[in-house]
């Protein structure tokens, strides 16, 4: 009897949902990063960074967003830059491993039939394979990072006149950031000096695409490289939608900015095409840029907002609502227009529960961005386009910063921090929570159709 009351608080402090580990882990990572970036050794100037600056930078790095209220290249010392690299490396590995493990938990909780389907789709066996899965994810990520780092280091050393030490550091930082879709640069002036360098821009763009697809997709490609018909529906949807969005982004943004003398118009034709390709790839997943987004046309900014909102692949380091969610929304609309009773893709029927989950994630995301934009506009002297761009970049964790980011007041920065955190862990934890809450009802209410439209 005496020990009864003492055990109750312990139970109340436990994580009652597996997705809470993801939220708690990222929150802890942000707090640790804030403490480290507050140290005097982390900055180039005297004294440590203000708490607000350290907290914002830690949140942007851990969530792989990349937007910043200071110049990373000049404000942070090499030690501070190394801390930032560590934050987005841990954040990147954390999101892909936690996503895969949560999907395994889901597969164990949705019943035997659902579990068999999940195993067939993800090619995973059971929770006993966790250790092998984690090792595979980390090895895959580090291998791609190593290739990217080697190419960037060699090009910076041999092609720009930098010392080997400087080339190795900059190549390592940008290679890890590219695969993790972090979009943070430590080069003064950003990547503008490489506007015509295909080795640098194409390498970074390909690394961003690789990181944005997600480990489940690459697992299918690795195991069944010559049998696309046997790929999971997730892999097919991700690859098809990613290809469509990449083509749309590259063609549209290149065409819109072609004659803009402030961006692509100032380059010759080959460099203009290269910079247009790079500019079209970055909005969906990463924040690297060779042109200043503040100089882009309004229609280009709107297209960029759309691409950022779609994001990358589920279970990847990319942000946004994810391309599978984006694709499902269009499939639902297309089926409704055609009067089809079921939503189908690649010869498979999409369950209604998955359709509702996609709609729920999209609606919550839209409302989060709209509310955030409203708050930022009310507290800062920004136009609707500027405020929307800032909030969309934060929620999508694309991290395409503008000159207005550093000028935001405390409330505006707080809104961006919330959106960054929500955009990183929100869609994942929400998706898992929705799946785990599925239950069957033994009865249904009578049908009655309300008027719509």
What is the full per-residue pLDDT of the chain (453 aa) written as tens digits?
444 444 444 444 444 555 666 777 788 899 999 999 999 999 998 888 999 999 999 999 998 888 888 989 899 999 999 999 999 998 888 777 766 666 655 555 544 444 444 444 344 444 445 567 677 788 888 999 999 999 999 999 998 889 999 999 999 999 999 999 988 899 988 888 898 899 999 999 999 999 999 888 888 888 888 888 889 899 999 999 999 999 999 999 999 999 999 999 988 999 999 999 999 999 887 888 888 888 899 999 999 999 999 999 887 888 889 999 999 999 999 999 999 989 999 989 999 888 988 898 899 899 999 999 999 999 998 889 999 999 999 999 887 867 788 888 999 999 999 999 888 877 666 666 656 555 666 677 787 778 776
Number of separate domains in the chain: 1
In a domain, 1, yes or no: no
In a domain, 448, yes or no: no
- On whether the CB atoms of residues 369 and 392 are closer than 8 A, the answer is yes
Q: Which domain holds residue 260?
A: 18-222+231-436
In a domain, 309, yes or no: yes
Rg of the chain over Cα atoms, rounded to whole angstroms, equals 22
Dist CA 422 CA 412 (whole Å): 15
In a domain, 178, yes or no: yes
Q: Distance of CA 63 to CAs 40, 150, 268, Å?
A: 23, 25, 36
In a domain, 192, yes or no: yes
In a domain, 109, yes or no: yes
In a domain, 3, yes or no: no
In a domain, 451, yes or no: no
């Amino acid at each position: 009897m005496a020990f009864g009351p003492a055990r109750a608080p312990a139970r109340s402090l436990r994580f009652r949902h597996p997705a809470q580990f993801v939220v708690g882990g990222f929150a802890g990572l942000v707090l640790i990063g804030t403490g480290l970036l507050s140290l005097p050794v982390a900055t180039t100037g005297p004294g440590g960074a203000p708490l607000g600056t350290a907290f914002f930078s830690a949140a942007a790095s851990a969530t792989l967003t990349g937007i910043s209220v200071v110049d990373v290249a000049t404000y942070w010392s090499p030690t501070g830059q190394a801390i930032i690299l560590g934050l987005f490396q841990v954040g990147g590995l954390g999101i892909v491993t936690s996503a895969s493990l949560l999907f395994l938990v889901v597969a164990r909780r949705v019943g035997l039939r659902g579990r068999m389907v999940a195993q067939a789709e993800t090619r995973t066996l059971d929770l006993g394979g966790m250790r092998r899965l984690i090792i595979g994810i980390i090895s895959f990520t580090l291998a791609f990072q190593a290739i990217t780092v080697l190419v960037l280091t060699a090009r910076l050393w041999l092609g720009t006149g930098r010392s080997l030490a400087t080339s190795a550091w900059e190549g390592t930082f940008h290679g890890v950031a590219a695969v993790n879709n972090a979009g943070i640069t430590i080069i003064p002036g950003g990547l503008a000096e490489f506007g015509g360098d295909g080795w640098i821009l194409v390498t970074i763009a390909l690394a961003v695409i690789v990181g944005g697809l997600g480990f489940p997709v690459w697992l299918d490609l690795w195991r069944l490289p010559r049998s696309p018909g046997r790929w999971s529906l997730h892999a097919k949807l991700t690859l098809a939608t990613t290809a469509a969005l990449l083509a749309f982004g590259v063609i549209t943004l290149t065409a819109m900015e072609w004659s803009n003398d402030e961006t692509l118009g100032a380059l010759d034709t080959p460099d203009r095409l290269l910079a247009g390709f790079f500019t079209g790839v970055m909005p969906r997943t990463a924040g690297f840029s060779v042109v200043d987004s503040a100089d882009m046309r309004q229609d280009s900014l709107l297209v960029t907002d759309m691409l950022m909102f779609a994001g990358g692949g589920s279970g990847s380091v990319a942000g946004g609502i994810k391309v599978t969610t984006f694709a499902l929304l269009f499939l639902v609309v297309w089926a409704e227009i055609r009067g089809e009773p079921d939503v189908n893709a690649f010869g498979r029927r999409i369950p209604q529960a998955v359709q509702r989950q996609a709609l729920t994630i999209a609606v919550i995301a839209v409302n989060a961005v709209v509310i955030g934009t409203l708050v930022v506009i009310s507290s800062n002297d920004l136009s609707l386009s500027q405020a929307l761009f800032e909030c969309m970049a934060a929620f999508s964790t694309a991290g395409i910063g503008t000159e207005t980011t550093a000028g935001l007041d405390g409330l505006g920065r707080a809104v961006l921090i919330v959106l960054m955190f929500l955009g990183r862990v929100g869609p994942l934890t929400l998706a898992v929570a929705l799946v785990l809450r599925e239950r069957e009802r033994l009865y249904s209410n009578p049908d009655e159709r309300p008027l719509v439209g």
